[in-house]
Chains A and B, each alone.
Chain A
Amino acid sequence: MSDDAETDGGTAIEVTPEDGNLVDRLVAAKDGERFVAVAAFVGVFAMPFVLIDVLGVFDTLIGLSLGGFVGLPTLILSFGIVAVGYNLLLGYTGLLSFGHAALFGSAAYAAGIFSNNVVASPLLAVVVGIAVATLLSWPIGFLSIRRSGVYFAVLTLTFGQMLYFYAFGPGSWLTNGDDGYTPFDVAGGPDLLGFLAMDASITTLFRDITGLTLTLTDGLDMTVGYMLAGLVGVLAIVVAHRIIKSPYGLILKAIGQNEQRVAFVGLNVFRYKLMAFILSGVFAGAGGALYALSKAGLTVHPDATLYWVVSGDFVIITAVGGVGSLAGPLIGAVVFEYIRLVVQGITVPGTEFQIGSLWRLLLGVVFVVVVTLFPDGIYGGLSSLGDRLVERFGAATDADTDDRRPVEEVEETGGDD
């Protein structure tokens, strides 16, 4: 809860001190929508460069294969988008769902099935994925939200597992069961708007248009597919930011902190919780569809999309990155996918020792350490460090910083419920 938004009868007010030095102004701007959009854009499109090229330097320098591979950023984005939405539920509304794999997986399958049976259009596939996940999150949310705490978690888990076992067994005619489903099974791969091949890179496009040859590093040489995923990602981040900063988002946050009091004020808690669930379903749908796109011509398997362990992965991503913040889940997605897909391939230099299957163990340890030491996740830890730096270098007086008491603190002194 390090946001600077204060409440005034339900309206969010941005604190924008015109005075103060550069540090203060930066701090004030950091919650503005334009800032978030620009930061998201830069972050999303710089990510491949950082992961593949910058970290790849270690490969050549000391033979430590820290660099990512070309498909990694897309996977990070698809999981990151789901986590951003999931965080609306866990981080703000305080509902721990163990069934988001159902929404993610259904969207992935829906997008895939649509692409093979109707039209192999990536844009429409994303729309279909979102639509299916949203429609599915409605009944699942409607039923699950009737119970709270562990019972909510178990209910979402049961719905997710039902879908998983359906996709595995009786639904094989639709999902191809254990063999996996191949989305976008079209010759030459899918294309965007009928002429941009999804796997065409910037350099190819540049050459085709201008006739000149452009040389870029692997990370900068993005594919059309990644650009689409990136744009969806930026859009998702901006939408999530808008939701979080709106009065609606504040109510969700209030429900997470004290459900009873929100009900006392006369608000329909059930409806808000349901909307939070559905909203997170929209994000899960977008992420799932992008996942299906990244697997174009490959296979989508129930184990990697619908299984409850995938739901657990979303929980880990969100909690490790930091619940209750916009950047947290994205950081979590980067860390998670990096450990899952890159660290496991690392061989310790000078020895034969490979990390290999240790990655899950490493992930578990990272997860436990982060949850124990930084309940607000990596982002929470970083931002409290940042706050200290701002306090040190900002011109704002101490009184100002004291005013921004964490909401939880107020809560504790507010009496028992």
Chain B
Amino acid sequence: MVDIAGILLTGLQQGAIFALLGLGLTIILGTMEFLNLAHGALYLVGAYMGLFIVREVSVQEGLLAGIAGDPTAVGLGSSFLVALILTPILMFVIGVAMERFVARPLYDRTEVEQLLLTFGLALIIEELAREFVGSQPFSSYAPDKLLGFTVGGQADVPLVGLYPRWRFVVIGLAFLLIGLSYLIIERTDFGLIVKAGTRDSEMVRMLGIDITRSYALVFGVGAALAGLAGLVGGTIIDVAPGIGTNNALVPAFLTVVIGGAGSVVGAIAGGIILGMVAAVFQFQAPQWSQIVLFGFVAVFLLVRPGGLFGSVEVGE
């Protein structure tokens, strides 16, 4: 009983991060029909951003180590709250720039070319990270205090037993962000335009709405979400150049595939399902967990190609 509750909590926490990632990917995919393989790289940037805002770390390798000289401590050493405000703003700007300079020239190209180019971009960002800060992993940067509350250490929770406090914060934070994005997309005019653009972008343009601006905004929001996922993810796992593809891109894609491309609810549901499946098997049969995870997605794709909430298949 104790185990099950703990597993479910871990699954929920993983799933919340997957949902954040999938949400960013799916709104870009749904709105612009643009496949962004660099989504994981945005997660990576967010994680490093968080690291250097929250911590003052000693960089041993890479160009940054050379610039910083001796002592090689780099970073602001500020609070997590600052990172929580700064990261989405910076990532939004990066996202808007990416839309303008990377995505826009590619809207008319084929799906395969979009995949190839964003794949190349992901490669470049990952390698730039490796060049600047080296391949060394930095330990995760979960804070001890947030807004005066103690968030470090373990909490004794009924049913679960001792469980890290920070993980509860992560779950809460992720769902807060997911809820916010959901409201923006479902309840605001901006969201309405974006959703209309998914159906028929030409018609939206004919109504006198500048859809290219909405595209830039959507890309910015998607990037901000990926960055936030990275920021939150970096408090749980070690930060290293490889996490962008391994811990973000692949789960984000799987999330979108399960939830259905372009579906906000789908991304949330998909993320949580994926997180749960992963958590259960990590406990029960760690060696098989990844195999089962991928197998699960494969079966899902074959049986329900449109995903849980998707209406259209991308590329059909």
Residue ranges of A at the interface with B (Cβ–Cβ < 8 Å): 90, 94, 96, 143, 146-155, 157-159, 161-162, 165-166, 169-170, 308-309, 312, 315-316, 319, 357-358, 360-361, 363-365, 367-368, 371-372, 375
B69 / chain A contacts, CB cutoff of 8 Å? none
Please indicate which of the listed interface residues B109, B128, B261, B297 has the most CB atoms of chain A within 10 Å of its own CB.
Answer: B297
Name the prevailing secondary structure of the A interface residues. helix
Residues of A within 8 A of B135 (CB): 357
Determine if A169 and B287 form an interchain contact, defined as CB atoms under 8 angstroms apart: yes
B254 within 8 A of A: yes
Contact (Cβ within 8 A) A158 B287 = no
- Find the A residue at minimum CB distance from B112: A96
Residue from B35, B295, B302 within 8 A of A146 (CB atoms): B302
Distance of B301 from chain A, by nearest CB (Å): 6
CB contact list, B100-149 vs A, under 8 A: 105, 109, 111-113, 115-117, 119-121, 123-124, 126-128, 130-131, 135
Residues of B within 8 A of A148 (CB): 313, 315-316
The reply to whether A161 and B290 form a contact with Cβ atoms under 8 Å apart is yes
Docked-complex contact B316 and A368, CB < 8 angstroms: no
B127, B253, B316: which has the most chain A beta carbons within 10 Å?
Answer: B127
Complex contact A143–B298 (CB within 8 A): yes
Does B288 belong to the interface (CB within 8 Å)? yes
On whether A170 and B287 interact (CB within 8 A), knowing A151-B257, A158-B294, A364-B123, the answer reads: yes
B152 at the interface (CB under 8 A from A): no
Tell which of B109, B123, B294 touches A165, judged by Cβ atoms closer than 8 Å.
Answer: B294
B305: interface (CB < 8 Å): yes
- CB < 8 Å: which of A153, A162, A308 contacts B291? A162
**What residue in chain A is nearest B130 (Cβ atoms)?**
A357
Asked whether, in the complex, the Cβ of A358 is within 8 Å of the Cβ of B131, the reply is yes
The contact of B301 among A96, A155, A364, A367, by CB within 8 Å, is A155
B103 to chain A, nearest CB (A): 13
A-B contact count (CB 8 A): 120
**A149 x B117 contact (CB < 8 A):** no
A96-B115, A158-B294 known; A371 vs B315 contact (CB < 8 Å): no
B301 touches A161 (CB 8 A): no
Is there an interface contact between B112 and A90, defined as CB atoms closer than 8 Å? yes
Option from B113, B257, B261 in Cβ contact (under 8 Å) with A375: B113
Cβ B294 vs Cβ A365 within 8 A:
no
Q: Are B112 and A151 in contact (CB under 8 A)?
A: no
Q: Which residue of A lies closest to B105 (CB)?
A: A372
Identify A312's interface contact among B35, B119, B287, CB under 8 A: B119
Name B315's contact: one of A151, A165, A309, A365 (CB within 8 Å): A151
Interface residues of B (CB under 8 A from A): 35, 105, 109, 111-113, 115-117, 119-121, 123-124, 126-128, 130-131, 135, 245, 250, 253-254, 257, 261, 286-288, 290-291, 294-295, 297-298, 301-302, 305, 313-316
Chain B residues in 8 Å Cβ range of A372: 105, 117
New A-B contacts (7) at CB < 8 Å, excluding given A154-B297, A368-B121? A147-B305, A150-B111, A151-B313, A161-B290, A162-B291, A368-B120, A368-B124
* Contact assessment for B302 and A162 in the assembled complex, using a CB-CB cutoff below 8 Å: no
| A155 pairs with B298, CB closer than 8 A | yes
What is the bound-complex CA distance between A10 and B314, given in angstroms?
32
> Which 4 pairs of residues, A with B, have the shortest CB-CB distance?
A149-B315, A169-B287, A364-B123, A361-B127
In the complex, what distance in Å separates the CA atom of A363 from the CA atom of B122? 12
Q: How far is the CA of A372 from the CA of B126 in the complex (A)?
A: 20
B residues near A157, Cβ cutoff 8 Å: 250, 253, 294
Bound state CA distance, A153 and B313, in angstroms?
Answer: 13
Q: Which residue of A lies closest to B128 (CB)?
A: A361
B61: nearest residue on chain A (CB-CB)? A357
A90, A155, A158, A165 pick with most chain B CB within 10 angstroms: A158
Cβ-defined partner of B115 (8 Å) among A143, A153, A162: A153
A308 to B245, CA, bound (A): 10
Q: Which single member of B35, B111, B112, B123 contacts A360 (CB below 8 Å)?
A: B123
> Are B305 and A149 in touch, CB under 8 angstroms?
no
Question: Is A170 a contact of B288 with CB atoms below 8 Å?
Answer: yes
Q: Given known contacts A158-B294, A170-B288, is B305 in contact with A151 (CB within 8 Å)?
A: yes
Contacts of A371 in B (CB 8 A): 113, 116-117, 120
CA distance A90 to B305 in the complex (A): 22
Partner of A154, one of B109, B245, B257: B257
